[in-house]
């Protein structure tokens, strides 16, 4: 039996993100759209796989996704412990020029694999970040790819006071 993916929306920005079967949307998590894998019961505490979509207006000097990627990777290098950029791929994301960046870094005791997808449309940047423990990456990579493939990037910046993840749509 094929399980149906859900969709979580952020109408204030026109952003949509697929929700894999069994995963949950987390509201008010500090980003417009956040989805997390189910908790494993009876297992040792592990880093919980997740995907986070954010929206921002890049600085005026950042006019395309290549410059946005360079600035974002430089920022990540300052923030993440032991960051290693493994691959940067030129992609098309929902019809827009984009970049997929695969990285590894440390988060406390965890070795983390993270995929970033970045695109820009109309001066608005959409970033999708999907993370898991390194040892889970091969199993979760197809899930992350499907989330990215089904994402609808933001078409506008949300107005002041817009609520994070302001709605959820029906399954796909």
Q: Are 109 and 134 spatial neighbours (Cβ–Cβ below 8 Å)?
A: no
Question: Which residues fall within 8 angstroms of residue 85, CB to CB, at 6 or more apart?
Answer: 73, 101, 102, 103
Q: What is the pLDDT of residues 3-29, one digit of tens each?
A: 799 999 999 999 999 999 999 998 776
Between 24 and 2, the more confident residue is: 24
Q: What's the pLDDT at 32? A: 84
pTM (two decimals): 0.88
Distance of CA 111 to the CA centre of its chain: 18
Q: What is the pLDDT of residues 59-73, one digit of tens each?
A: 999 999 999 999 999
Residue 39 has pLDDT above 90, yes or no: no
Q: What's the pLDDT at 46? A: 83
Q: Using the 8-state DSSP alphabet, how is residue 88 labeled?
A: E
Q: What is the pLDDT of residues 116-141, one digit of tens each?
A: 999 998 889 999 999 999 999 999 99
Q: What's the pLDDT at 163? A: 60
Q: What's the pLDDT at 29? A: 60
- Closest of 146, 109, 119 to residue 130, by C-alpha: 146
The C-alpha atoms of residue 105 and residue 29 are separated, in whole angstroms, by 22
Domains and CATH numbers, the chain: 6-38+46-169 (3.40.1000.10)
């Amino acid at each position: 039996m094929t399980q149906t993916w859900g969709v979580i929306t952020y109408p204030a920005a026109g952003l949509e993100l697929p929700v894999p079967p069994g995963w949950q949307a987390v509201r008010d998590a500090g980003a417009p759209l956040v989805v997390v894998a189910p908790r494993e019961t009876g297992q040792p505490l592990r880093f919980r796989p997740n995907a986070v979509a954010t929206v921002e207006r890049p600085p005026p000097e950042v006019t395309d996704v290549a410059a946005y990627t360079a600035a974002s990777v430089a920022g990540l290098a300052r923030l993440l412990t032991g960051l290693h950029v493994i691959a940067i791929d030129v992609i098309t994301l929902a019809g827009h020029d984009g970049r997929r960046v695969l990285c590894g870094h440390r988060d406390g005791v965890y070795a983390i694999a993270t995929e970033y997808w970045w695109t820009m449309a109309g001066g608005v940047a959409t970033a999708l970040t999907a993370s898991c423990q390194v040892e889970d990456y091969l199993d979760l990579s197809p899930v992350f790819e499907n989330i990215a493939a089904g994402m609808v990037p933001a078409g506008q910046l949300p107005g002041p006071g817009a609520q994070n993840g302001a709605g959820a749509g029906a399954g796909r």
